C-alpha cells in the first residue's frame, strides 16, 4: 500500500469504474465530479429535494449508480421526512432479561422497517443512562430505554419532542411496559403455600435492584396475607454462585421446605447445592424461580414465573412505532399479567 508523502496516512484502496479511478467508499464529491455538478446539488438529489432540474437529477443518479455511491441514513431520513432509526439505551446486557428483551426489540424493529442504534449504560444508574442517551445519534425517530434497574429513572433527560417508551414495571412520567413483578412473586408464593408448605424462604437479587425489590415485596405480601411466618431473606446477586451459597445454608435447615428464588440462575445454583447435600427436590424441599428462560432444562425441571421477554420487546417497539407514526398508542403504565409454569421442582411437603 502506498503512503501519502504529505500526511503519512495510507490511502484508501482504489478501483476503476467508468474509466475513472474512485475510492472504494465513494463520496458525494466523487458523484459531483463525475456528473459535473456541485456537491450541494448532489446533496439535494440525495435528500429528495424538488428544486433540481429533471435532467440534472438523472445525471446525478446515473453517477451515483456508476460509482456505487449510497446516501447515508441521514439522507434517507430527509427524503422520507423522518428517521428510520430507533435508539435503544440498555445496560447490564449480560443479564438474562436485558439480553432477551434487547434481542426482541431489534428483531421487531427490523421487521417494522427500523434500524436500531444501541447505546450502552454500564451501571444502569440514571447518570449513566443520560450519558448513553447523549451518545446516540441525534436523528433517532424515538427511544426505547431498558430502565428496569434505575431507581431515579424519572431524572432521565429525553430530547424534546422525542417519542420514548421505557421497559419498566413502575408507573412513570413516560409510557412504560413490563410484567407485574409483584404479582409474579405472589403467584410463586401462593403456589407453594397452596401445596401445604408452612412458609416460603426467599433468595433475593441485588439490594439496589428495582426488580428484586418488587419481587421481594410480592413475596412478603403473599406470606402476610396468609398469616405465614416471614423468614429473613437470603441475599443474592442474580448469579448461580449466589444461589449456590444460599442453597448451602438452606440445606442445613430441616424446617425449610419451600424456596422462592428471584431468578432462574440463582435457582440453578441452589438446586446444585441442595443436590450435593442430599436434600431431595421436591420430596424434601420445593423450589420456584423467576424468568422461565432456562427453567425447563434444569433438573428437576424448575417451576418458574414466566416473563415473556420476547412479547415485551415486541410490544415496546409497537408502542414506540405508533408514537412515531402519529397513531394511537398506550400512555402511562402497561403491565403484562404473569403466568406460572409449573414443573417437577414443586410438590406437597412430606409430613
Beta-bridge partners for 58: none
Q: What is the residue whose three cell numbers read 478501483?
A: 15
pLDDT in tens, 190-216: 999 999 999 999 999 999 888 999 999
**Contact of 176 with 170, CB cutoff 8 Å:** yes
Do the two domains 85-179+309-336 and 181-307 of this chain adopt the same fold? yes
Q: Tell me how many helices (H) and strands (E) the chain has.
A: 11, 14
Domains of the chain by residue range: 14-80, 85-179+309-336, 181-307
What is the tens place of the pLDDT at every residue in 142-196?
A: 999 886 666 667 777 777 788 999 888 888 888 899 999 999 999 999 999 999 9
Residue 16 has pLDDT above 60, yes or no: no
* Superfamily of domain covering 14-80: lambda repressor-like DNA-binding domains (1.10.260.40)
Q: Supply the pLDDT for residue 202.
A: 98
- Torsion, CA 113, CA 119, CA 123, CA 126, rounded to 10: -90
Distance CA 209, CA 262 (A): 11
Please tell me the pTM assigned to this model. 0.73
85-179+309-336 under CATH 3.90.640.10, yes or no:
no
Superfamily of chain region 181-307: Response regulator (3.40.50.2300)
- Give the C-alpha separation, 97 to 146, whole Å: 10
Return d(Cα 233, Cα 245) in angstroms, integer.
13
Write down the pLDDT at residue 168: 87
Computed over every residue of the chain, the mean pLDDT equals: 84
Which of the pair, 9 or 171, is modelled with greater confidence?
171
Task: Write out the DSSP string of 54-113.
Answer: HHHHHHHHHHHHHHT----HHHHHHHHTS--EEEEEEE-TTSHHHHHHHHHHHHHHHHTT
Flag whether pLDDT at 47 surpasses 70: no
Amino acid at each position: 500500500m502506498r503512503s501519502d508523502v504529505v500526511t503519512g496516512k495510507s490511502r484508501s484502496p482504489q478501483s476503476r469504474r467508468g474509466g475513472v479511478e474512485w475510492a472504494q467508499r465513494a463520496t458525494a464529491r466523487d458523484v459531483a465530479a463525475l456528473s459535473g455538478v456541485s456537491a450541494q446539488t448532489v446533496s439535494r438529489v440525495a435528500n429528495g429535494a424538488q428544486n433540481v432540474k429533471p435532467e440534472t437529477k438523472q445525471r446525478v443518479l446515473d453517477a451515483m449508480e456508476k460509482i456505487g455511491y449510497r446516501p447515508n441514513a441521514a439522507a434517507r431520513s430527509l427524503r422520507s421526512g423522518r428517521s428510520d432509526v430507533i435508539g435503544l439505551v440498555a445496560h447490564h446486557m449480560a443479564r438474562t432479561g436485558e439480553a432477551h428483551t434487547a434481542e426482541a426489540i431489534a428483531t421487531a424493529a427490523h421487521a417494522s422497517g427500523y434500524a436500531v442504534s444501541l447505546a450502552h449504560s454500564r451501571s444502569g444508574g440514571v447518570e449513566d443512562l443520560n450519558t448513553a442517551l447523549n451518545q446516540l445519534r441525534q436523528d433517532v425517530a424515538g427511544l426505547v430505554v431498558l430502565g428496569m434497574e434505575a431507581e431515579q429513572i424519572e431524572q432521565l433527560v429525553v430530547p424534546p419532542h422525542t417519542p420514548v417508551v421505557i421497559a419498566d414495571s413502575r408507573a412513570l412520567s413516560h409510557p412504560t411496559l413490563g410484567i407485574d413483578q409483584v404479582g409474579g412473586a405472589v403467584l410463586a408464593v401462593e403456589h407453594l403455600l397452596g401445596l401445604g408448605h408452612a412458609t416460603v424462604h426467599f433468595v433475593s437479587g441485588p439490594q439496589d435492584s428495582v426488580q428484586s425489590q418488587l419481587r421481594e415485596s410480592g413475596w412478603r405480601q403473599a406470606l402476610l396475607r396468609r398469616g405465614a411466618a416471614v423468614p429473613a431473606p437470603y441475599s443474592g446477586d442474580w448469579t448461580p454462585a449466589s444461589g449456590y451459597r444460599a442453597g448451602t445454608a438452606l440445606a442445613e435447615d430441616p424446617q425449610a421446605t419451600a424456596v422462592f428464588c428471584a431468578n432462574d440462575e440463582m435457582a440453578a445454583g441452589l438446586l446444585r447445592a441442595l443436590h450435593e447435600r442430599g436434600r431431595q427436590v421436591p420430596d424434601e424441599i420445593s423450589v420456584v424461580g423467576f424468568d422461565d428462560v432456562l427453567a425447563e432444562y434444569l433438573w428437576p425441571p424448575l417451576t418458574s414465573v414466566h416473563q415473556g421477554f420476547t412479547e415485551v420487546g415486541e410490544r415496546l417497539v409497537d408502542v414506540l412505532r405508533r408514537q412515531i407514526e402519529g397513531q394511537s398508542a398506550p400512555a402511562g403504565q402497561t403491565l403484562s399479567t404473569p403466568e406460572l409454569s409449573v414443573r417437577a421442582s414443586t410438590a406437597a411437603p412430606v409430613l
